[in-house]
């Protein structure tokens, strides 16, 4: 049944962990659409035949009974809200990466995709991933908005300059799947295609060993992103205010910060993740940590996306260390 409907609706293979469930909802919505439209058509044909004009007679004044209108409205609303609930439940699943997802950094530019692995290798337009493991893409754009779309995985996420957006997936079957850009991005938008190559775990490990080391960031060849992050942090003076070992300083320490919840000056709190770190580099005054002064300059346009990724990866690598003591200075 699944295969038949998938074929009839011209859907791509269901190659990710979420695809099948999304397609089931798809089938129910489309089948209900056909049922509804057919019901309208049958009613229309019946009325046209049954009540065809036989002369210029008068017709009875008919008003829809309230109960009938209420039933139709309630019934449809119940159906729609049910789809909405299921759809939103699935949407949350699509939007929330599992904590153990393997990060890969993605930079989109007119008109290509670049993928960088934390351990060093990078590639253009071909994303190699292991089957059966969740992969989280941390994406940003160097120029205009692009959108990362893998039809076979039923995932899509806009890639926005100046922001980090994330999308995750878990490939279920080994194979090669198309990546397409779905956000119109200029003259060669339709040529901005790539491929996901999903390999069995053993093959993936072998591929990773043999993969060319980094030639992505230009500088710092042959090293992992974390090492590159240390260099970038030194180059741009990050460490004048942010310590790596928990020493209190002008800005919050990076040690053990990733994944923690931080109170903000403006009230509220934020979980420190890729989005927050990227935003804080680009627009430092948007969410200032409680106890610190808004003195950090913006690095918008000063840091290449690959360098941003390197900083994020460095901060992530320090996540499991416990800071020596609570870093919040006393409020004054």
Partner 1 sequence: MIDYLRAPSGIRSWLGSIDHKRIALMYLVAVTIALVLGGAFAMLMRTKLLISGPGIMQPLTYNRLFTWHGVTMVFMFMIPAIPAVFGNFMLPIMVGAKDLAFPRINLASFYVYCAGAALALWGMIHGGADTGWTFYSPYSTASPTDVAPIAIAIFILGVSSIMTGLNFIATTHMLRVKGMRWMDLPLFVWAIYATSVIQVIATPVLGLSVTLVAMDHALHMGMFDPTLGGDPVLFQHLFWFYSHPAVYIMILPAMGVITELAPTFARKNVLSYKAIAFSSLGIAFVGFLTWGHHMFVAGISQLDAAIFGVMSMFVAIFSAIKVFTWLGTLYKGSIALTAPMLYFFTFIYLFAFGGMTGIAVATTSLDVHWHDTYFVIAHFHFIMIGGTLTAFLAAIHYWFPKMFGRMYPEKWAVLSAVGVFVGFNLTFVPQFLLGNAGMPRRYYSYPDRYHVLNVCSTLGAYLLGSVMVFTLAYLIVALFKGKRATANPWGSRGFEWRVPSPPPTENFEAPLDLRLGCYEYDRE
Query: Which residues are within 8 A (CB) of 249 and not within 5 positions of it... i.e. 6 or more apart?
Result: 241, 242, 243
3-state secondary structure of 50: helix
119, burial (CB in 10 Å: exposed 0-12, middle 13-18, buried 19+): middle
Closer of 49 and 210 to partner 1 (Cβ): 49
| Smallest separation, CB 163 to partner 1 (Å) | 6
Closer of 267 and 330 to partner 1 (Cβ): 267
Query: Mind giving me the DSSP string for 161-219?
Result: BTS-EEEEE-B-S-EEEEEEE-S--STTGGG-EEEEEEE-HHHHHHHHHHS----SSSS
Closer of 91 and 269 to partner 1 (Cβ): 91
| Smallest separation, CB 301 to partner 1 (Å) | 5
The DSSP element (H or E) to which 280 belongs, if any, is helix 274-282
What is the Cα 288 distance to its own chain's centre? 25
| Smallest separation, CB 155 to partner 1 (Å) | 6
3-state secondary structure of 289: strand
CA 221/CA 76 separation, integer angstroms: 60
| Smallest separation, CB 203 to partner 1 (Å) | 26
Q: Which parts of 234-299 are beta strand (E)? A: 261-263, 269-271
| Smallest separation, CB 304 to partner 1 (Å) | 13
Closer of 189 and 319 to partner 1 (Cβ): 189
| Smallest separation, CB 225 to partner 1 (Å) | 23
Closer of 66 and 330 to partner 1 (Cβ): 66
| Smallest separation, CB 176 to partner 1 (Å) | 13
Query: Mind giving me the DSSP string for 91-149?
Result: HHHHHS--TTPEEEEEEEETTEEEEE-TTS-EEESEEEEETTS-EEEEEEESSS-EEEE
* Max CA distance (Å), the chain: 94
Closer of 53 and 331 to partner 1 (Cβ): 53
The DSSP element (H or E) to which 85 belongs, if any, is helix 66-95
| Smallest separation, CB 100 to partner 1 (Å) | 21
DSSP 267: S
């Amino acid at each position: 049944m699944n295969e038949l409907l998938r074929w009839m609706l011209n859907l791509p293979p269901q190659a990710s962990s979420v695809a099948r469930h999304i397609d089931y909802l798809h089938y129910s919505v489309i089948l209900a659409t056909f049922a509804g439209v057919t019901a309208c058509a049958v009613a229309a044909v019946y009325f046209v035949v049954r009540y065809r004009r036989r002369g210029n007679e008068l017709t009875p004044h008919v008003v829809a009974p309230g109960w009938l209108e209420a039933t139709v409205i309630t019934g449809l609303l119940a159906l729609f809200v049910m789809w909405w609930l299921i759809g939103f439940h699935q949407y949350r699943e699509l939007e929330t990466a599992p904590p153990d997802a393997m990060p890969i950094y993605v930079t989109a530019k007119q008109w290509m995709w670049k993928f960088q692995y934390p351990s060093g290798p990078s590639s253009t337009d071909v994303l190699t991933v292991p089957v059966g493991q969740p992969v989280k893409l941390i994406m940003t754009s160097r120029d205009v908005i692009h959108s990362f779309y893998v039809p076979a995985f039923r995932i899509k996420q806009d890639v926005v300059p100046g922001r980090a957006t994330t999308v995750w997936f878990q490939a279920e079957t080994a194979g090669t799947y198309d990546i397409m850009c779905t956000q119109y991005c200029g003259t060669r938008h339709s040529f901005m295609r790539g491929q996901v190559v999903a390999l069995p775990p053993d093959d993936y490990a072998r591929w990773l060993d043999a993969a060319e080391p980094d030639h992505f960031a230009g500088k710092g060849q042959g090293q992992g992103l974390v090492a590159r992050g240390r260099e970038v942090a030194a180059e741009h003076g990050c460490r004048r205010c942010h310590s790596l070992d928990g020493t209190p300083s002008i800005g919050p320490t990076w040690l053990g910060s990733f994944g923690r919840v931080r109170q903000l000056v403006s009230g509220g709190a934020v979980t420190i993740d890729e989005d927050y770190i990227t935003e804080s580099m680009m627009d430092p005054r948007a969410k200032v940590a409680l106890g610190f002064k808004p003195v950090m300059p913006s690095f918008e346009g000063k840091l290449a996306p690959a360098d941003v990724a390197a900083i994020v990866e460095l901060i992530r690598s320090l996540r499991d260390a416990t800071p020596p003591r609570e870093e919040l200075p006393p409020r004054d």
